[in-house]
């Protein structure tokens, strides 16, 4: 019994002394499982790709096409202008998604956008196209022009609503670019975040309540399992050929993400909601955003201007100011963000000038660009502006043609000494001239007096006169 007690005591003692292996709370980068043809997750601010699957593969965008239709209507139309619908709203079968417009119905462009973005009305999309550009063909031309401007190189639109056409296509990466651009517009953000909207009765229809088809922000209690707390829009799509499509946005802890899912082949595309939530969770679990505006502003960017004058207030060294568009938000893994905020000097600034750095240079003149990097990671490229004027040596204050303005200016003492020396020399010359003039006058006066005295003593006899003349 004593041996058993001793063994147990020894075992407990050894157990206490053994090191405890703790389980790390650090998350592993388990990418979301996406059972769709293609998908992409980006940071909405920078466009940084956080996750992608076949993002450049050809897809059919279905009703997510209406993102382009809406942003163009906002940018080019009067949203509160009354529009009288024409035949363009009655060319669809009843099997597709419709707002329920009728020819000659009077509605505003704003109401048409609600009809497009909430219930995915194809009739509303056609009406918007004609209201903005006069014809669907002209509007489609505008759509493709905008796509090119946004760098959507693998996209072609042939209609304003997204119904299936083989030559109406895009990619998940291109649609992410479109969504990123559109979400910068506050009016657009209001439309896509709207859960429901009631349109008052018109001359052709009773009042209509429109419910958003995006289940991530849905009000329907039946959709609670799909609801995502941080979701803020954007647009759904569904056709037999395209499958379930979704472009969604979410915002959490100052970081806004955009997820695009195309080719969900589940019944009614029901799995796209869970896929979107998994993509957002992945982004928020492993990534973070930080405002680098102050850190980047403190990195000095300087160059010496070779032909700056001696009187230059910066002694020929010019500071350059990066031109940021708003705050500089940077998204990276949480580990890299922590390292960055702890050691801001790990950021490098690579300057590239567009022209030779010679004076004259004007304040706020664009001189080149600066590229900020964290290791091999690109953070930002920004234009570089001159912080002040720099005159060339020939025309600068303090040059031989002009003196420095005040005792505080560089070169003032040197210029003042030269000026004082010149004044002394002029004074000496003037004194010498005056003395010489006085001596000359004195000599002439004395000679004049002497001549007068001699004249008064001119003798009357010829011999004496002759001798007088010989003397003078």
Q: Which of 63, 170, 218, 289 is catalytic?
A: 63
Q: Tell me what pLDDT residue 176 has.
A: 98
Say if residue 419's pLDDT is above 60: no
Band of pLDDT at residue 441, cut at 50, 70 and 90: confident
Q: Tell me what pLDDT residue 153 has.
A: 96
Q: Give the list of residues 6+ apart from residue 366 with CB closer than 8 angstroms, or none.
A: 354, 383, 384, 385
Say if residue 457's pLDDT is above 90: no
Q: What are the tens digits of pLDDT across the range 351-372?
A: 999 988 999 999 999 999 999 9
Q: Would residue 394 count as lying in a domain?
A: no
Q: What are the tens digits of pLDDT across the range 185-201?
A: 999 999 999 999 999 99
Q: Tell me what pLDDT residue 402 has.
A: 43
Between CA 119 and CA 128, with CA 122 as vertex, the angle to 5 degrees is 100
Q: What are the tens digits of pLDDT across the range 247-256?
A: 999 999 989 9
Q: Which of these three, 242, 261, 286, is where a domain ends?
A: 286
Q: Contact, 28 vs 122, CB < 8 A? A: no
Q: Tell me what pLDDT residue 131 has.
A: 96
Q: Which residue has 């695009």 as its token pair?
A: 260
Rounded to the nearest 10 degrees, the angle between the axes of helix 66-76 and helix 186-193 is 140
Q: Would residue 28 count as lying in a domain?
A: no
Same domain? 303 vs 267: no
Q: Which of these three, 330, 354, 386, is where a domain ends?
A: 386
The predicted model gives 9-20 an average pLDDT of: 40
Same domain? 153 vs 249: yes
Measured between alpha carbons, how far is 128 from 136 in angstroms, rounded to an integer? 9
Task: List the CATH number of the domain containing 325.
Answer: 2.60.410.10
Domain hosting 198: range is: 38-286
Same domain? 265 vs 196: yes
Q: What are the tens digits of pLDDT across the range 320-346?
A: 999 988 788 888 899 888 888 888 888
Q: Which of 66, 146, 177, 235 is catalytic?
A: 66
The predicted model gives 85-111 an average pLDDT of: 93
Say if residue 405's pLDDT is above 60: no
Q: Which of 97, 120, 218, 399 is catalytic?
A: 120
Q: Would residue 397 count as lying in a domain?
A: no
Say if residue 433's pLDDT is above 60: yes
Same domain? 245 vs 99: yes
Query: Can the peptide bond before residue 458 be classed as cis, meaning omega within 30 degrees of 0?
Result: no
Q: Give the list of residues 6+ apart from residue 116 with CB closer than 8 angstroms, or none.
A: 66, 69, 70, 99, 124, 125, 128, 161
Q: Is 346 a catalytic residue?
A: no
Q: Tell me what pLDDT residue 14 has.
A: 39
Q: Tell me what pLDDT residue 69 has.
A: 98
Say if residue 174's pLDDT is above 90: yes
Q: Would residue 10 count as lying in a domain?
A: no
Q: Tell me what pLDDT residue 398 has.
A: 54
Same domain? 119 vs 50: yes
Please indicate whether residue 140 or residue 18 has the higher confidence score (pLDDT): 140
Q: What share of the chain is helix, strand, coil (3-state, %, to 5)?
A: 40, 20, 40
Q: Tell me what pLDDT residue 93 has.
A: 87
Q: Is 63 a catalytic residue?
A: yes
Rounded to the nearest 10 degrees, the angle between the axes of helix 66-76 and helix 109-117 is 160
Same domain? 177 vs 240: yes
Q: Tell me what pLDDT residue 462 has.
A: 56
Q: Tell me what pLDDT residue 150 has.
A: 97
Measured between alpha carbons, how far is 117 from 128 in angstroms, rounded to an integer? 12
Q: Tell me what pLDDT residue 57 has.
A: 97
Burial-class residue 12 by CB neighbours within 10 Å (0-12, 13-18, 19+): exposed
Band of pLDDT at residue 13, cut at 50, 70 and 90: very low
Measured between alpha carbons, how far is 472 from 468 in angstroms, rounded to an integer? 7
Q: Tell me what pLDDT residue 291 has.
A: 87
Number of folded domains that form the chain? 3
Band of pLDDT at residue 210, cut at 50, 70 and 90: very high
Q: Is 399 a catalytic residue?
A: no
Say if residue 229's pLDDT is above 90: yes
Task: List the CATH number of the domain containing 219.
Answer: 3.40.710.10
* DSSP state letter for 59: B
Same domain? 374 vs 310: yes
The predicted model gives 397-405 an average pLDDT of: 49
């Amino acid at each position: 019994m004593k041996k058993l007690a001793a063994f147990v005591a020894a075992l407990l003692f050894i157990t206490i002394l053994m090191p405890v292996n703790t389980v790390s709370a650090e998350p592993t980068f388990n990418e979301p499982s996406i059972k769709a043809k293609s998908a992409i997750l980006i940071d909405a601010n920078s466009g940084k790709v956080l996750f992608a699957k076949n993002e450049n593969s050809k897809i059919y965008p279905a009703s997510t096409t209406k993102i382009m239709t809406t942003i163009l209507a906002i940018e080019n139309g009067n949203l509160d202008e009354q529009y009288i619908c024409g035949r363009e709203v009655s060319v669809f079968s009843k099997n597709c998604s419709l707002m329920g417009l009728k020819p000659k119905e009077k509605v505003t462009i704003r109401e048409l956008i609600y009809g497009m973005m909430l219930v995915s009305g194809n009739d509303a999309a056609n009406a918007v196209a004609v209201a903005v550009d006069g014809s669907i063909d002209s509007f489609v031309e505008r759509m493709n022009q905008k796509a090119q401007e946004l760098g959507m190189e693998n996209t072609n639109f042939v209609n304003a609503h997204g119904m299936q056409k083989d030559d109406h296509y895009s990619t998940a990466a291109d649609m992410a670019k479109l969504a990123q651009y559109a979400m910068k517009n506050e009016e657009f953000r209001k439309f896509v975040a709207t859960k429901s909207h009631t349109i008052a009765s018109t001359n052709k229809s009773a009042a209509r309540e429109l419910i958003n088809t995006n289940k991530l922000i849905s009000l329907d209690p039946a959709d609670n399992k799909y609801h995502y707390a941080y979701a803020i829009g954007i647009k759904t799509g569904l056709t037999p050929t395209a499958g379930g499509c979704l472009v969604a946005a979410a915002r959490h802890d100052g970081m806004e993400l955009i997820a695009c899912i195309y080719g969900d082949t589940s019944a009614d595309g029901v799995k796209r909601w869970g896929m979107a939530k998994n993509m957002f969770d992945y982004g928020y679990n492993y990534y973070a955003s930080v405002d680098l505006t102050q850190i980047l502003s403190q990195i000095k960017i300087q160059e010496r201007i070779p032909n700056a004058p001696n009187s230059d207030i910066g002694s020929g060294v010019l500071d350059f100011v990066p031109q940021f568009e708003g705050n500089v938000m940077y998204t990276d893994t949480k580990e890299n963000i922590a390292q960055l905020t702890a050691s801001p000097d790990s950021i490098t600034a690579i300057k590239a000038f567009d022209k030779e750095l010679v004076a004259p240079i004007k304040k706020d003149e664009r001189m080149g660009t600066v590229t900020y990097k964290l290791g091999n990671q690109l953070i930002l490229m920004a234009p570089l502006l001159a912080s002040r004027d720099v005159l060339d040596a020939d025309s600068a204050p303090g040059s031989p043609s002009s003196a420095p303005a005040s005792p505080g200016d560089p070169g003032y003492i040197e210029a003042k000494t030269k000026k004082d020396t010149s004044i002394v020399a002029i004074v000496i010359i003037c004194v010498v001239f005056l003395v010489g003039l006085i001596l000359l006058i004195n000599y002439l006066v004395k000679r004049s007096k002497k001549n007068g005295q001699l004249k008064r003593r001119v003798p009357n006899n010829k011999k004496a006169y002759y001798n007088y003349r010989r003397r003078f």
